[in-house]
Amino acid sequence: MAATIIDGKKIADDIRQEVRRETDELKASSGILPGLAFILVGEDPASQAYVRMKGKACEEMGFYSVTEKLPADTTEEFLLRLIRRFNMDPRIHGILVQLPLPKHIREDQILSAVDYRKDVDGFHPVNVGRLVVGQDCLKPCTPAGIQELLVRSGHDPSGKHVVVVGRSNIVGKPVMNILLQKQKGANAVVTIAHTGAPDISIFTRQADILIAAIGKPGAITGAMIRTGAVVIDVGINRVDDPTAKNGYRLVGDVDFVSASTVAGAITPVPGGVGPMTIALLMKNTLRAAQGTIYL
């Protein structure tokens, strides 16, 4: 039987409406307008597209937003000064430095320079640590979006075996820490499989919920999935397609055709996890503006 499609676009739209409503309430009750600053270094087309989409979402929420586009040869010192300026700016509640950064800039120095109370990406070591020990914090948008997607689509991870493929700081490690919490909407048994394993299919076949965050188009095939499993595809890969009008199309890390004959439910690409990331960024910015996390 074909898998149910989990509609990330619809669930993300629901969250955006909730954020929009709460933003209006915050404005009415305290006069605070949530503000988000984007910093984009270089010309990577995918990064440019993401920042554009996030900026449009801010407009829709009624947020204040600014985008600083910097050339690829920007120095680390210049970037640090810009971050410090946004740290001090009372109109700005969230700062997002789009990754990846050019090789000559040290990512860890940059991410640590953002005021952790404005770290809407949840990448600052203070937020990483607070997440691990279960303290309230700003959580990375894609992992938090995956949790919302599971819960709101009726696939509560509690008591389930979640297998994550990929150990990145942006998705793999934080999604493990979120789903591991002894809390509602989490409480899962979590395994991380990664490139260090000679055969990841030994692990993926045991998953009740399989989260693919590898960055390789079609790497997870139907043969690697347990019958009836919930499959969350985090990959957004551009592959050449001469028949497409822009010359490429987007595919996930999961081979959708073979996977959807085995899985019980599956997220599409596009229209699965991608829209959730943006919705959770809006939610994080609102929460930062509300100012109640780090009291």
Catalytic residues, by residue number, are 54, 98, 121
Q: What is the DSSP secondary structure assignment for residue 112, as one 8-state letter?
A: H
Which of residues 101, 141, 200, 225 is near ligand GUN by CB under 6 A? 141
- Residue 232 touching ligand GUN (CB under 6 A): no
96 vs 146, beta carbon nearer ligand GUN: 96
Q: Three-state SS for 52?
A: helix
Question: In 154-293, which residue ranges form alpha helices assigned H by DSSP?
Answer: 172-180, 201-204, 256-259, 273-290
* By the rule CB under 6 A, 57 interacts with ligand GUN: no
Q: 140: closest CA among 295, 291, 273, 294?
A: 273
Q: Is 120 in the site for ligand GUN (CB under 6 A)?
A: no
One-letter identity of residue 132: V
* Residue of the chain from 142, 147, 237, 260 that contacts ligand GUN (CB under 6 A): 142
Q: Dihedral angle at the C-alpha atoms of 43, 98, 79, 74, nearest 10 degrees?
A: -20
170 binds ligand GUN per the rule CB under 6 A: yes
What x-and-dash track marks residues 90-119 binding ligand GUN by CB under 6 A? Answer: ------xxxx--------------------
Instruction: Convert 251-261 to b/e letters by CB count within 10 Å (16 or more is b).
Output: bbbbbbebbbe
Size of the site for ligand GUN (CB under 6 A): 9
Confirm or reject binding of residue 128 to ligand GUN (CB under 6 A): no
Give the residues lining the site for ligand GUN (CB under 6 A): 96-99, 121, 141-142, 170, 277
